[in-house]
Structure 1
Amino acid sequence: MRNLILIAAASAALSACATAPVATFDPNGSEWTGWVRFTSDEFQLYANENQVLQPFSRPCLSGALPRDEQRQYRELSGTKVQVTGRTTPWSANQSGARIEHEGSVIRNDCGGAVVILADDMKPVA
């Protein structure tokens, strides 16, 4: 009987973790703070630090800085940053399914409805 109680308690705890809400970003915003990962010409911005450590983690927002800045800030991968810019709608029906932003190519690895056309990125302490 005691084992059944322990199993039920463990199951309830795991269920609570699995259904815990994941923080997301305002797609209409102009400033976002989160953890960044860089891949190719784009970055993915995550609301939670543990998300940036997991491959293929969702939800996130894909975006890009102008090419020279994108290359300069790649060293910030895995850290908390503040991004400023604007969003633009993503459409998979686009030619080649990508958006170019001042020399950087956004493929939308996050698969969101919008992507960030970033102007600036800075580390957050």
Structure 2
Amino acid sequence: MKRRTNSLRKVYCDYCGRETEYVDSKVIYGKSYGKIYLCRNCMAYVGVHKGTDKPLGRLANAELRNWKKAAHAVFDPLWKYGRFRGHRNAAYAWLAQKMGLPVEKTHIGMFDVGQCRKAIEIIEKETKGDRYGRYQKDPR
């Protein structure tokens, strides 16, 4: 991603290669949650870090968004309630080691479909029998 002279990044779609638009998320959600990069051709999009124009990860189409949701459904209980309770970075470091990825490249927001599938498989295998299952909420 490169900077434009008006300080916005140039972000290109991973699917069609077109330059994305920097728009309000209201375009997608009907309510504003901040800015996003949107490829209208593919309807792929990604949010940005609050107060910046830095993408939260890679652009995602409908399929990838579904896989990211599934990955979060098994990953989030690990750091919210499970073995890494309250330590999200430690959970990502553990996942990085298990996936054979550098820690800085290990984030569900950056994953493609294959990486989401692999993460789900690893987490489900490694946490089999753990108290906190896929969709279980904090019991307190």
TM over 0.5: no
Flag the structure with higher strand content: 1
Q: How high is the TM-score relative to the length of structure 1?
A: 0.24
In terms of Rg, which structure is larger?
A: 1
Flag the structure with higher helix content: 2
Q: How high is the TM-score relative to the length of structure 2?
A: 0.22
Q: Which structure is higher in RCO with an 8 Å CA cutoff and minimum separation 6?
A: 1
